[in-house]
Structure 1
């Protein structure tokens, strides 16, 4: 099928959709980018969609392996969020990193595609990841400068204060839940001034934990999620090392509710 409009999503676990479990989807996850594509296709079946994002990828990997693949698909719309996994490393040269990012965005914009970038999340609510808040703030200023220079659009994740509510986060406290991905899809479409029929989830109230209950919950989280995450980084391995892109070529994915 020939697609006259082509949306290509680049990035890491955020864009792959980790936290939004869906056994029917490749890699077992759906995510906000797939949900954005669904709405675009519902409104106009001429859209095709590719999702090249793979969990655990750092900036250099995304630029080296996903930008050329995206350009080969002749995109008309690209979303890209890269750098979060670099910021979480013990050491990172943010200025050098963002110089490389600028060049990648330049190439994408040079193709004629509309490009959407993301600022980083304000992780001040996280006892662990909140320590990288300063780095993220510097990253965000670079993103704004790059967007201004290259004519890209920004989804300002830092200012989406809804995401300070832990109900939008998965049990691992690192990735958005299905509710979070659904909300992000709506916010991306609104940034694009695209109509959508996404029903935002009603969040169940979370009972406040007593101090001892919170300590036990934090200890369980550290055992099940934080310790394995740290271990992978010490071993220099990634949860995405054995995975491939969900939709490496332009498609109407199986969930697209139209006759293709």
Structure 2
């Protein structure tokens, strides 16, 4: 009999599920990793899932806090996305970041688990943050090299044209929206070669927006999301400092149709910039 899947997800807000709001779940979000686990469980009720990702985590903390607990679970599948928050730092040693990234991937692959890596996406934040595009391109080049070197699976997020639609993004413009997370789950399952029932989101044609609407939206975004994010950076704190992992231990997958409508009793914290 084929061994049951033990799926452990590691990382930051991308993997935690920020932007895909579900008040019934820990940290008030669902996300692509939950959606992938749900589809795996629908075809094998022996599947088990843990999600150790926490918003705001940089690579070093992800490795220090999540890697050993994950490997202790003897996973058969590990998703690893890390480094996105490091790319947002004013000062960054990108060469060291990628050395640390490769060391982490080597440790995971040495466990015998199937490893799933991700490139980053050029999120259309603002012309002021255009230098991030260069960093992300360099990061992606290294991720592709590491994936090839260690024989991991790769979700090449950078290439997904669907994410050019702003409706695939949450209002903070940095995290995926619910349609974005659903589409990401579908692409992950395709890379895994797993059966699933997820459909590509049908968003229709976007409503034309006036220049005034665009300016008003930009002003609201700067006040609501960018300002508090810069404030946290200056104070050396993160939106994930008071949160724990959503699913810290391997457990049977919680299917959404069995959740009911009760709101989860979890800490309330902004799900905006990590």
TM-score in terms of structure 2 length = 0.90
Identify if the C-alpha distance between structure 1 residues 217 and 231 changes in structure 2 by more than 3 Å, giving closer, same or farther: same
Alignment of 1:102 with 2:102, yes or no, is: yes
| 3-state SS of paired residue (1:162) | helix
Distance 2:125 2:225 in 1: 17
Corresponding residue for 1:156?
A: 156
Give RMSD over aligned pairs.
1.5
Deviations 1:155-192 (A, max 9, x none): 00110111111010111111100000000000000011
Corresponding residue for 1:23?
A: 23
| 3-state SS of paired residue (2:130) | helix
Corresponding residue for 1:65?
A: 65
Identify if the C-alpha distance between structure 1 residues 221 and 105 changes in structure 2 by more than 3 Å, giving closer, same or farther: same
31-40 or 212-221, which moves further after superposition?
A: 212-221
Q: CA deviation at 1:125?
A: 6.7
Runs of 4+ in 1 over 6 A off after TM superposition: none
Distance 2:67 2:164 in 1: 31
Say if 1:116 and 1:153, in contact at 8 Å, map to a contact too: yes
Identify if the C-alpha distance between structure 1 residues 64 and 233 changes in structure 2 by more than 3 Å, giving closer, same or farther: same
Distance 1:202 1:153 in 2: 27
Distance 2:15 2:213 in 1: 33
Distance 2:130 2:124 in 1: 4
Say if 1:13 and 1:53, in contact at 8 Å, map to a contact too: yes
Unaligned residue ranges in structure 1 (runs of 5+): none
Corresponding residue for 2:147?
A: 147
Corresponding residue for 2:5?
A: 5
Q: CA deviation at 1:128?
A: 4.4
| 3-state SS of paired residue (2:127) | coil
Distance 1:6 1:129 in 2: 38
Alignment of 1:44 with 2:44, yes or no, is: yes
TM-score in terms of structure 1 length = 0.94
Q: CA deviation at 1:212?
A: 2.1
Deviations 1:30-60 (A, max 9, x none): 0000000000011111210000000000000
Distance 1:126 1:118 in 2: 23
Unaligned residue ranges in structure 2 (runs of 5+): 259-274
Distance 2:38 2:190 in 1: 14
Distance 2:123 2:19 in 1: 17
In the alignment of these two chains, the number of paired residues is: 256
